[in-house]
């Protein structure tokens, strides 16, 4: 496979403008259902925090749209977490009273990059999350290590790191400009697990240059690799446009989003592996490709499989067959 070469400068040159964000407010916050490792549906607090942009320029990423051009100001994330918890009606000292057991602190970057999360904010962040059973943050495999375990030491609950594997495709992974190798990923996961840190991973469904069948195949291969490394949960992310470069690739015919049928196939395959949890990211599901006659039923099937972690009966559509 002969892929075009894009470096960080090429990727930046294709970008549209960022969204307006406030350093004292998360750009989104919600409570969402998620099946835990025991098969029980839990309510999870998910905060999309506003902070410094990620230092890595991955070709498929659009999370930079909600980031700052400067280092995250000290105290800003604390203000954001406080605001979101209050707005959601959650007492941080007794989150279980509102039915929530876990909190995700996603910052569109890397939690253990001190430019994105100031070290002086750690103690207060730990205090605000200490009554949750699980604290989930996202991070690049190359930025794990001692700092993770120092933060873990200050938590009462279980620390879980969300790492981006993206794909094990031998040509597409380096093309993504993620600046990570599979041996590096494996070593990071194994080290985290050895230190009692739980790991979930993000995997792309149908990156550029793959047809529908190849997109399904490499998503399944990526899940197998992640589980072999010791990952407990795979979050499958349908690749989407909207970041500039992906739109250009779509115009050139080198990328099309995956169909809902492919997403169903990938999720079923992951659940049937029976190794760990598998979720299909349904963000922007209104943009997914599917026949209108049965699109909503198929999306409902995906949601039910997410929440039950059980394969559900296939949708039977009299219109499209």
CB 61 within 8 A of CB 54: yes
Q: How many CB atoms lie within 10 A of CB 10?
A: 15
In the sheet with 158-166, reading across from the earlier edge strand, the strands are: 28-35, 41-48, 100-106, 134-139, 158-166, 198-205, 233-238, 277-280
Please indicate, yes or no, if residue 316 is contained in any of the structural domains: no
Please indicate, yes or no, if residue 152 is contained in any of the structural domains: no
Verify that 287 and 191 share a domain, yes or no. Answer: yes
Q: Which of 97, 123, 139 is the last residue of a domain?
A: 139
Verify that 297 and 171 share a domain, yes or no. Answer: yes
Verify that 103 and 203 share a domain, yes or no. Answer: no
Q: What is the pLDDT of residue 175?
A: 94
Please indicate, yes or no, if residue 207 is contained in any of the structural domains: yes
Q: Any idea what DSSP says for residue 69? A: S
Which residues, 6+ apart, have CB-to-CB distance to 281 below 8 Å?
A: 235, 236, 237, 238
Neighbouring C-alpha atoms within 13 Å toward the C-beta of 174: 9
Q: What angle do CA 15, 57, 62 make, to 5 degrees?
A: 50
Verify that 198 and 83 share a domain, yes or no. Answer: no
3-class DSSP string for 260-299: HHHHHHHHHHHHHHCCCEEEECCCCHHHCECCCCCHHHHH
Please indicate, yes or no, if residue 259 is contained in any of the structural domains: yes
CATH of the domain at 170: 3.20.20.70
List C-alpha distances in Å: 140 to 57, 95, 229: 12, 28, 16
Verify that 46 and 94 share a domain, yes or no. Answer: yes
Please indicate, yes or no, if residue 14 is contained in any of the structural domains: no
Verify that 112 and 183 share a domain, yes or no. Answer: no
Q: How far apart are the first and last CA of the chain?
A: 35
Verify that 180 and 69 share a domain, yes or no. Answer: no
Q: Which residue has the tokens 């549906």?
A: 41
Q: What is the pLDDT of residue 306?
A: 97
Verify that 217 and 280 share a domain, yes or no. Answer: yes
Report how far residue 134's alpha carbon sits from residue 42's, in angstroms, rounded to the nearest whole number. Answer: 11
Q: How many domains does the chain have?
A: 2
Q: What is the pLDDT of residue 321?
A: 67
Which residues, 6+ apart, have CB-to-CB distance to 81 below 8 Å?
A: 26, 47, 49, 105, 125, 128, 129
Please indicate, yes or no, if residue 4 is contained in any of the structural domains: no
Please indicate, yes or no, if residue 150 is contained in any of the structural domains: no
Query: pLDDT 10s digit of each residue in the chain, 321 long?
Result: 778 777 889 899 999 999 999 999 999 999 999 999 999 999 999 999 999 999 999 999 999 999 999 999 999 999 999 999 999 999 999 999 999 999 999 999 999 999 999 999 999 999 999 999 999 999 999 999 999 999 999 999 999 999 999 999 999 999 999 999 999 999 999 999 999 999 999 999 999 999 999 999 999 999 999 999 999 999 999 999 999 999 999 999 999 999 999 999 999 999 999 999 999 999 888 878 888 999 999 999 999 999 999 999 999 988 886
Verify that 131 and 48 share a domain, yes or no. Answer: yes
Verify that 132 and 35 share a domain, yes or no. Answer: yes
Report how far residue 184's alpha carbon sits from residue 188's, in angstroms, rounded to the nearest whole number. Answer: 6
Residues β-bridged to residue 234: 201, 278
Please indicate, yes or no, if residue 174 is contained in any of the structural domains: yes
Verify that 269 and 167 share a domain, yes or no. Answer: yes
Verify that 172 and 119 share a domain, yes or no. Answer: no
CB 240 within 8 A of CB 290: no
Report how far residue 135's alpha carbon sits from residue 92's, in angstroms, rounded to the nearest whole number. Answer: 13
- Containing domain of residue 173, as a range? 163-309
Report how far residue 266's alpha carbon sits from residue 219's, in angstroms, rounded to the nearest whole number. Answer: 7
């Amino acid at each position: 496979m002969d892929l075009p070469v894009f470096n960080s400068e090429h990727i930046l040159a294709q970008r549209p403008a960022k969204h307006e964000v406030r350093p004292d407010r998360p750009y989104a916050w919600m409570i969402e259902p998620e099946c835990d490792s025991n098969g029980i549906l839990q309510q999870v607090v998910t905060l999309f925090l506003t902070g410094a942009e990620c230092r890595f320029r991955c070709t498929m990423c659009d999370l930079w749209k909600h980031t700052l051009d400067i280092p995250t100001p000290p105290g800003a994330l604390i203000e954001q977490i406080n605001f979101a918890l209050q707005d959601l009606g959650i007492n941080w000292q007794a989150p279980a009273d509102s039915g929530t057991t876990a909190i995700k602190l996603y910052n569109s970057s890397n939690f253990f990059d001190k430019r994105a999360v100031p070290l002086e904010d750690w103690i207060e962040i730990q205090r605000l999350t200490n009554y949750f059973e699980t604290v989930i943050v996202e991070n690049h495999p190359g930025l794990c290590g001692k700092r993770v375990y120092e933060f873990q030491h200050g938590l009462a609950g279980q620390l879980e790191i969300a790492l981006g594997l993206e794909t094990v495709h031998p040509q597409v992974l380096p093309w993504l400009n993620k600046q990570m190798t599979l041996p590096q990923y494996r070593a990071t996961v194994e080290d985290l697990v050895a230190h009692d840190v739980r790991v979930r991973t993000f995997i792309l469904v149908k990156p550029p240059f793959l047809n529908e069948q190849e997109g399904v195949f490499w998503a399944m291969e990526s899940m197998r690799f992640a589980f072999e490394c010791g990952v407990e949960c795979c979050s499958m992310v349908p690749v989407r446009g909207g970041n500039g470069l992906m739109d250009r690739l779509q115009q050139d015919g080198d990328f099309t989003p995956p169909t809902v049928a492919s997403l169903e196939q990938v999720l079923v395959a992951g659940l049937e592996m029976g190794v760990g949890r598998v979720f299909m990211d349904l963000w922007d599901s209104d943009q997914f490709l599917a026949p209108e006659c049965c699109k909503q039923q198929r999306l409902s099937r995906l949601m039910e499989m997410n929440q039950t972690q059980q394969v559900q009966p296939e949708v039977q559509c009299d219109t499209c067959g």
